């Protein structure tokens, strides 16, 4: 499986995640709370002055969708 890395500017930290966002498994996910946490960290000047940019993708528990999100984020 191909993997691509996207360089982040020195002013930010990029974190990505693929998760079941639209099916019954999503109800128990802690990952849905991450955007609020990252906003809180960013309001306090981020991590060593670098802001967190979070990319969350919903794959509906579909492996082909997971792969497409991984190799071509938008």
Residue 64's pLDDT is 72
Collect all residues with Cβ–Cβ distance below 8 Å to 42 and sequence separation of at least 6.
Answer: 51, 52
| Spatial distance between the Cα atoms of 60 and 34, rounded to a whole number of angstroms | 18
Tokens describing residue 6 = 């996207």
Of all residues in the chain, what percent carry a pLDDT higher than 90?
27
- Residue 3: is its pLDDT beyond 90? no
Task: Summarize the confidence of residues 44-51 as an average pLDDT.
Answer: 95
Segment 48-64, tens digit of pLDDT: 999 999 887 767 676 77
| Spatial distance between the Cα atoms of 48 and 38, rounded to a whole number of angstroms | 14
| HEC letters along 1-52 | CCCCCCCCCCCEEEEEEEECCCCHHHHHCCHHHHHHHHHHHHHCCCECCEEE
């Amino acid at each position: 499986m191909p993997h691509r890395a996207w360089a982040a500017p020195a002013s930010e930290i990029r974190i990505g995640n693929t998760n079941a966002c639209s099916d019954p498994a999503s109800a128990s996910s802690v990952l849905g709370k991450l955007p609020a946490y990252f906003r809180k960290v960013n309001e306090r000047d981020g991590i060593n002055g670098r802001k967190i940019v979070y990319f969350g993708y919903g794959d509906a528990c579909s492996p082909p969708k997971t792969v497409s999100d991984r190799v071509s984020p938008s």
